[in-house]
Structure 1
Amino acid sequence: MNDDHANVPLLQEPNITAFDATDTTRTTPDKPPRYVGGFSTVMNMLNTLMGAGVLGIADSFRFTGFVPSFAMMLIIAILSYVATQMVVTLQLRKHTKSFEQLTEMTLGKIGSTIYSIAATFFCLSALVVFLIISGGTVQSWINYSNWKIEDGSWRYRFILLGYALVLPVALTVPKNMHFLSYFSTFSIVCLFTFVFVVIIKGIQMLPKQGIHETCIIAHINSGIFNALAIYSLTFALAAVVMPVIAPSEPRLNLRSVTVGVTFFLSFLCSSIPGVIGYLIFGTTVKPVLLESFPPNDVLTIIVRAAFFIVVNASYPVVSLTVGSSYARAIFGVNSALELNGWRRILILFILNVIPVLIAMFLPNIRPALAIGGAIGGCLSNFVFPSLIWIRASGRRVSHWTNILCIFLCIFGIVSLLISTYESVLDAIHQFSGK
């Protein structure tokens, strides 16, 4: 949901069918267009979709046990896939470049404003998650010496503040961030390495210790909405798919296949380490799965170091969306990169001070993932795609596709309200130490 580095699509054209939709890309007779291949498109979408939140999937199983959590994750992945396919179809129909543009075209300025606010919350939660994950890594490195840093102590908070100022905050200052593009391939390698390492640890540990005694098959309670929010964040591709898939060949059936492959791989990369982590550690699993393994385990040390690099490279990129939202609200410009002097300094200060302060006092990533997923994930996955499709379809509201969209929209709104409530309660408990 990024306005600067990952814009999103729009819609219209009621009479076009799913298999007829093609993009009328302008070409010259002697120069056919060059499109990005299917494999590269899938990798780019995986890089956009899969983030540090995958580290918290195992912890989400604590809320309701194995079966309800896995079933909910599968349902959210399927619904998110459907919403993404709707957006991809509408992109070809409407020839739009960003989700925000598509939202404003169909839902007006109010809809676009609501989306921008949701995107800001979404990205703010991501910034907090980045800081907590990398701050915990710095803490573990310090703990390798005899100087022990306790979680939640003032010493830890000052260390996180110092680290944040030296690395992620400092990386938001340069206007030219092209050097960060080199970390794109590294992020995918890191993701697959994480999955591979967790599988290896499962093969090593589960035959010896068996399934952890605290694992439960099912326990239905309101905590399932916390898990729902986290899964909504994990599979939130609908709002960011347009700029990623735009360079591929504009044939709907081909793009549908790449989206399907992307969701299949993302589900595997999320569910496999999540399930294995929960089976190994049960309810004792930590919000960041890698922190549950012994601190001297070589494989997890390597993966944590890799994720440290990834989240620090991601922080300034994601911050562009938040900074641009502040720039529009305060100075009326579309991008924070357009500002200079004291105006840019002010935006950089506001941009960084909020996530840094929250990360200093929030004990772990779970509330940030849940709140970001509740507000950003539910809106971008379910509410906005449904409303946009209804407005752009040109069909009666009573048409079966619009009725299904209405149900999806209602599901998104109900999930948004309950998940936000449960996530805020969890955050309050985390802050109070209860």
Structure 2
Amino acid sequence: MEAPWEISNAERSWYVSAQQSEATEAEELSPLLSNELYRQGSPGVSFGFSVFNLTNAIMGSGILGLAYVMAHTGILGFSLLLLIVALLASYSVHLLLSMCIQTAVTSYEDLGLFAFGLPGKMVVAGTIMIQNIGAMSSYLLIIKTELPAAIAEFLSGDHTGSWYLDGQTLLIVICVCIVFPLALLPKIGFLGYTSSLSFFFMVFFAVVIIIKKWSIPCPLPLNYVEQYFQISNATDDCKPKLFHFSKESAYAIPTMAFSFLCHTSILPIYCELQSPSKKRMQNATNTAIGLSFLIYFISALFGYLTFYDKVASELLQGYSKYLPHDVVVMVVKLCILFAVLLTVPLIHFPTRKAFMMMFFSNFPFSWIRHSLITLALNIIIVLLAMYVPDIRNVFGVVGSSTSTCLIFVFPGLFYLKLSREDFLSWKKLGAFLLLIFGILVGNFSLALIIFNWINK
């Protein structure tokens, strides 16, 4: 008797036949993608809009932590690491697309099912759920940190002790009144249009970082340094470092991996692409990763050249403290907060879907179950945002565990399992190196981060 998690004979036969024509399939439309577009009754999404959607999937709260990473790796060290992570992210997408064509599945969870049966599906779904919970908590942490300061900048007089200037109180009010009701809706497609503004907000943010580099003197005023950093201020602090490594460098690759993660969106976007082929989708991915790399690098570079070693782990904090009533900074802060606020309920959906696939995949839709799961997720991310002291902890732990798995480990492992190529082929060797890189870097970074916590 066949175990319930095993692939059916029909599916296995289709897979074997797909493997036999793998060389030509790389440029062909998979049957499942054709059916998907036929059901939609649409010719698909254009190449440009697919690039735009992928860029939105990549860009997120990680942009606020990369200047801190540059301060602890140096300009050249940061550039090299960021380029490596971007190239490996692009290569792992190449492996995912190859497996998508071979297996005709359109979700990351189903790739896990095809490779390792039900345990593989459960592990992938759990990893996606933890990754998204970390992403949502990082967004709420930004709201908790920046929203009180943004409100205070619009007020005159002394409002110390007011509830609307308390980050935790504002966080609870926003989650109860905005995030939870929006996440509770069974369909939330309209937020996709408003959240598409986030890319333009990120570009605006990078432009403001460039402009404000010449508005903040270096060395920083002594009272600012003493109040916020408790360290001395000197002219030597204004010299950029090309290479610099410290115990805080352990957050570098995890934060970068967190920042480039879009792999859970690749296959759904592939299904919607106009005239979908592996080459066309790979070009869209490379373009989106390239644009994200450029914006990430510019914002990190000029953020670092503004504050140098005194850059905060969340970049906006420095501008909030040094230029509290600057109109441009206030506008960009509101833009980032608006983008973050609308992104949180959107991330609820794949998170809840992953949870449902783990435990309730065979159950019909139930409003009670739907509401309870949404409420539980909301409570978890609020508690994390309230009690995690620093956003770099979210980037470090989530980036070194789930992000490295989704970008490096799973694509390499699944390709080694599913592909029937010779092990010495270039693709399998690349997949093996990607797997080893993910395991070593993820575990090493996580060990260093935990070691730093213990010492503190």
Interval containing the TM-score (normalised by the shorter chain): 0.7 to 0.9
- Which range is displaced more, 108-117 or 415-424? 415-424
Mark the CA change 1:131 to 1:97 in structure 2 (over 3 Å): closer, same or farther. same
Structure 2 counterpart of 1:271, from 270, 288, 297? 297
AA at the equivalent of 1:235: F
Is the partner of 2:408 in helix, strand or coil? helix
For 1:196-228, what per-residue CA distance to the aligned partner results, in whole angstroms no more than 9, with x for missing partners?
Answer: 222222355589989952743322345433110
- Which range is displaced more, 367-376 or 176-185? 176-185
Mark the CA change 1:142 to 1:305 in structure 2 (over 3 Å): closer, same or farther. closer
1:312 aligns with 2:324: no
Mark the CA change 1:109 to 1:225 in structure 2 (over 3 Å): closer, same or farther. farther
Residues in 1 aligned to 2:374 and 2:44: alpha-carbon distance in whole angstroms:
37
Mark the CA change 1:172 to 1:214 in structure 2 (over 3 Å): closer, same or farther. farther
Q: Report the Cα offset of residue 238 of structure 1.
A: 2.9
1:216 aligns with 2:227: no
Residues in 1 aligned to 2:337 and 2:22: alpha-carbon distance in whole angstroms:
46
Once the two structures are superposed, the pairs formed by residues 374-393 of structure 1 within 5 Å of their partners are 374-393=400-419
- Which range is displaced more, 218-227 or 235-244? 218-227
1:147 aligns with 2:159: yes
Structure 2 counterpart of 1:163, from 170, 174, 188? 174
AA at the equivalent of 2:169: F
Aligned-pair identity (%): 22
AA at the equivalent of 1:162: V
8 Å CA contact retained: 1:367, 1:426: no
Q: Report the Cα offset of residue 185 of structure 1.
A: 2.5
Mark the CA change 1:326 to 1:116 in structure 2 (over 3 Å): closer, same or farther. closer
> What TM-score results when the alignment is normalised by the length of structure 2?
0.81
Mark the CA change 1:160 to 1:426 in structure 2 (over 3 Å): closer, same or farther. farther
Q: Report the Cα offset of residue 290 of structure 1.
A: 2.2
Match of 1:339 in 2: 366
Name the count of aligned residue pairs. 413
AA at the equivalent of 1:75: I
Match of 1:21 in 2: 27
Q: Report the Cα offset of residue 264 of structure 1.
A: 1.0
1:39 aligns with 2:48: yes
1:182 aligns with 2:210: no
Is the partner of 2:112 in helix, strand or coil? helix
For 1:344-370, what per-residue CA distance to the aligned partner results, in whole angstroms no more than 9, with x for missing partners?
Answer: 443233211111112112223111122
Mark the CA change 1:258 to 1:155 in structure 2 (over 3 Å): closer, same or farther. closer
Residues in 2 aligned to 1:18 and 1:232: alpha-carbon distance in whole angstroms:
32
Is the partner of 1:188 in helix, strand or coil? helix
Q: Report the Cα offset of residue 135 of structure 1.
A: 1.8
Once the two structures are superposed, the pairs formed by residues 251-266 of structure 1 within 5 Å of their partners are 251-266=277-292
Q: Report the Cα offset of residue 124 of structure 1.
A: 0.9
8 Å CA contact retained: 2:57, 2:265: yes
Match of 1:242 in 2: 267
Residues in 2 aligned to 1:54 and 1:425: alpha-carbon distance in whole angstroms:
25
AA at the equivalent of 1:132: L
Structure 1 runs of 4+ aligned residues shifted over 6 Å read: 206-211
Residues in 2 aligned to 1:14 and 1:134: alpha-carbon distance in whole angstroms:
52
1:56 aligns with 2:51: no
Match of 2:213 in 1: 202
Match of 1:3 in 2: none
Q: Report the Cα offset of residue 327 of structure 1.
A: 4.1
Residues in 2 aligned to 1:206 and 1:260: alpha-carbon distance in whole angstroms:
38
- Which structure: greater helix fraction? 2
For 1:13-37, what per-residue CA distance to the aligned partner results, in whole angstroms no more than 9, with x for missing partners?
Answer: 26423784311454899xx972322
Is the partner of 2:263 in helix, strand or coil? coil
Match of 1:133 in 2: 142
Match of 1:94 in 2: 103
Q: Report the Cα offset of residue 426 of structure 1.
A: 5.6
Residues in 2 aligned to 1:254 and 1:344: alpha-carbon distance in whole angstroms:
37
For 1:285-310, what per-residue CA distance to the aligned partner results, in whole angstroms no more than 9, with x for missing partners?
Answer: 12222221112121121111112121
Is the partner of 1:218 in helix, strand or coil? coil
- Which range is displaced more, 204-213 or 162-171? 204-213
Residues in 2 aligned to 1:142 and 1:269: alpha-carbon distance in whole angstroms:
27
> What TM-score results when the alignment is normalised by the length of structure 1?
0.85
8 Å CA contact retained: 1:59, 1:288: yes
Gaps of 5+ in 2: 1-14, 221-234
1:368 aligns with 2:394: yes
Q: Report the Cα offset of residue 229 of structure 1.
A: 0.4
Residues in 2 aligned to 1:269 and 1:211: alpha-carbon distance in whole angstroms:
28
Once the two structures are superposed, the pairs formed by residues 70-109 of structure 1 within 5 Å of their partners are 70-109=79-118
AA at the equivalent of 1:147: H
8 Å CA contact retained: 2:75, 2:242: yes
Match of 2:8 in 1: none
8 Å CA contact retained: 1:161, 1:360: no
8 Å CA contact retained: 2:51, 2:285: yes
Mark the CA change 1:107 to 1:53 in structure 2 (over 3 Å): closer, same or farther. same
